[in-house]
Amino acid sequence: MGLAFSIVIGIPLLILLVMFIFGLYTTRNLGWIAICLTWGGVAYSVLQKINGVLLLRGMEQDTLVIFLTPIIHQVFVLLCVYFVLYRKKSDNLIEGAVYGWAAGIGFATVDMTFSILGAQTPDTNNLLAHSFSTTLVYATAAGITGLVITQFYFRHHSNRIVVLLSGLAAAIGHNALYIWLDKSSSNETAPVLYSIGGLTLMSLYIAGQLRRILIQLGIQKSRADGLLDIVIPIGVNLASEKDFQKLLENMLVEAQNFCHADAGTLYLKRNNLLEFAVTRNNTLNMAMGGTSGNKVTMPPIELYDKDGFPNHNNVAAFSARTGEVINIEDAYENKKFDFAGTREFDRQTGYISSSFLIIPLKDSQGKVQGILQLLNALDSDKKTIIPFDANLQQLMTSFSSLASAALEGYIHEQSLRKEIQELKIEIDHAKRNKQVAEITDSSYFKELQQKAQLLREKEKSNSQPVK
């Protein structure tokens, strides 16, 4: 019996040791691993009580063990990994799998311990193989759950519900098939091969996900280089631009080029309005405002409705009011904002307004000066409309800071020029008053006044009729 316990406990510990050697976890997160192991053991104990209640109510043993047990097990794993990742604020894909693995190992260890306690004379060879395969299968299934819950909560995929449900289905199915295979096989060869196969598939999946992450890192590095090589020089050029209309036009055009956006609009905030300053649409060959020579014909957007409430139906007005960056994948599917005007524009022109990226331009005090709205991101071939990438959105926030600084600098410069002009007028007026006072206070001017008075009196007396 002592040898049996050594096998049952030794194999999980050996797997944990191998994981530690390969750097899947370190002493820094050893406490979280211990929590997941304990959670897995508690999950088995709770599961046994649930099974006991269901058996008393007439549920068949095979149905309970093969189908219901894997479902309840993965639900417990899901809660465990979710809790750990939430507390750690981690979005590491591998960490999610490792914590799932730990929970699965804890579950398997307690499961095999109870099996030994219920057995009379366990066969050492079969026990060794059974312990190995059971630990791998429970750990692999729980690791799959850890992967999908990480992607579900932290990755913000548009199809994250599908990812979660499909991952849970794979984990539950992997677990259930093993239990059925273990019950129906006369030896441990098939379960062992099955457990190794499941581990291999999971490893390949993780490798594929890591490859995608590496590709994304490469793209982000390229964009970061673009931020240094393109955006910062643009910011310098914007800061040196003295023509206000050209400044606004450059802000929009450079943002379009950087994001591969087909169209865009730059709004300026004036009082409670968002006024169209510059608008461009490459497909429609449309240009208004800026240096185009074409006046903007669209009416301004009201930031408040007739009753004085904030206008949160319009996406640009909402961004101007809240200061939030808004990324919309498809305006036709969006239910939060009112795109009736956009759809009417599309109906009249035949254009398709799909993806939007709305970025508020804030001054140094955080007040919104304007809105940069980009429309219809294009793929590398500039043929297909795609959503604006979330990582690109972060870079555009840096761009908007540079553009806002240039705009704020220009406005401040113009304000200073106006103040200087007003001060000059006041100085000229004061100088003139002083000069007038100096003249009127002089003895010469007073003598002239007296002579003028005498002349007026003499002229008045000469004009009177003789009686």
pLDDT digits (tens, 9 = 90+) for 267-304: 888 888 888 888 999 999 999 988 888 888 888 888 88
Q: Which of 271, 279, 341 has its CA nearest to residue 302? A: 271
Question: Taking residues 216-238, what's their average pLDDT?
Answer: 60
Amino acid 418: pLDDT: 59
Q: What's residue 318's pLDDT? A: 92
For 325, counting Cβ atoms within 10 Å of its Cβ (0-12 exposed, 13-18 middle, 19+ buried), the class is middle
Residue 414 has pLDDT above 60, yes or no: no
What own/partner pairs with CB < 8 Å and gap ≥ 24 does 53-61 have?
Answer: none
Q: Are 263 and 396 within one domain?
A: yes
Mean pLDDT value of segment 212-236? 63
Q: Please tell me whether residues 295 and 215 are part of one structural domain.
A: no
pLDDT top residue among 129 and 242: 129
Residue 321: inside a domain, yes or no? Answer: yes
Could you give phi then psi for residue 368, rounded to 5 degrees? -75, 125
334, 358, 354: which is closest to 345 by C-alpha?
354
SS3 category, 339: coil
Q: What percentage of the chain has pLDDT greater than the value 90? A: 9
256 and 211 within one domain: no
pLDDT score for 38: 92
Both tokens of 237, joined, read 């050029």
Tell me the CA distances in angstroms from 390 to 60, 216, 397, 445, one per residue in order: 50, 11, 11, 79
H or E segment at 438?
Answer: helix 390-440
Instruction: Give start and end residues of each alpha helix (H) in 119-159.
Output: 124-154
**Residue predicted with more confidence, 264 or 418:** 264
Coil, strand or helix at 378: strand
Is 418 a domain residue?
A: no
- Contact assessment for residue 132 and residue 30, using Cβ atoms and an 8 Å cutoff: no
pLDDT at 186: 72
Residue 109 reports pLDDT greater than 80 = yes
Domain membership flag for residue 440: no
Q: Would 439 be classed as within a structural domain? A: no
Same domain, 303 and 363: yes
User: Over 60: is that where the pLDDT of 390 sits?
Assistant: yes
- Average pLDDT value for the chain: 79
pLDDT of residue 356: 93
Q: Is residue 433 situated within a structural domain?
A: no
pTM attached to this predicted model? 0.52
Strands, E assignment, 379-465? 385-386
Stronger pLDDT, 88 or 317, i.e. the higher one: 317
pLDDT tens-place string over residues 145-178: 988 888 887 654 556 788 888 888 988 988 888 8
137 falls within a domain: yes
Question: Is 166 in the same domain as 75?
Answer: yes
Residue after which a domain boundary falls, among 383, 411, 439: 411
Integer angstrom CA distances of residue 136 from 69, 106, 191, 301: 17, 11, 10, 61
Verify that 323 and 379 share a domain, yes or no.
Answer: yes
**Where is the domain boundary, 387, 411, 435?**
411
Question: What pLDDT, on a 0 to 100 scale, did the predictor assign at position 123?
Answer: 66
Which contacts (CB < 8 Å, 24+ apart) does range 66-72 have? 66/176, 66/179, 66/180, 66/183, 67/176, 69/175, 69/179, 70/141, 70/171, 70/172, 70/173, 70/175, 70/176, 70/179, 71/172, 72/43, 72/47
- 23 and 114 co-located in one domain: yes
Measured between alpha carbons, how far is 243 from 138 in angstroms, rounded to an integer?
68
Structure-model confidence comparison of residues 33 and 463, the more confident one: 33
Q: What is the CA radius of gyration of the chain?
A: 38
How high is the pLDDT of residue 374? 93
Q: Is 27 in the same domain as 156?
A: yes
Pair 284, 333 in one domain: yes
- Does 85 reside within a domain? yes
Q: For residue 237, what pLDDT is reported?
A: 59
- Residue 311 is part of which domain span? 245-411
Whether residues 211 and 265 fall in one domain? no
Q: How far is CA 245 from CA 16, 253, 289, 367, 375, in A?
A: 65, 12, 8, 21, 21
**Average of pLDDT values for 399-419?**
63
Check whether residue 68 and residue 112 sit in a common domain.
yes
Looking at 184, 219, 254, the residue that finishes a domain is 219
pLDDT band at 412 (very low <50, low <70, confident <90, very high): low
- Would you state the pLDDT for residue 379? 82
Is residue 344 included in any domain, yes or no?
Answer: yes
pLDDT confidence of residue 357: 92
Report the candidate in 51, 103, 95, 102 with the shortest Cα–Cα distance to residue 77. 103
Top pLDDT among 234 and 222 is at 222
CA angle 31, 37, 40 (to 5 degrees): 140
Quick one: pLDDT at residue 262? 92
Residue 258: pLDDT over 60: yes
Instruction: Give residue 35's pLDDT.
Output: 92
pLDDT computed for residue 376 by the predictor: 92
Among 202-216, 275-289, 389-403, the range scoring the smallest mean pLDDT is 389-403
Q: How many domains does the chain have?
A: 2
- Burial of residue 250, with CB atoms counted within 10 A of its CB: 0-12 exposed, 13-18 middle, 19 or more buried: buried
Q: What residue type is assigned to position 402 of the chain?
A: L
Judge if 41 and 161 occupy the same domain: yes
What confidence category does residue 15 fall into, taking pLDDT thresholds of 50, 70 and 90? Answer: confident
CA distance 305 to 290: 29
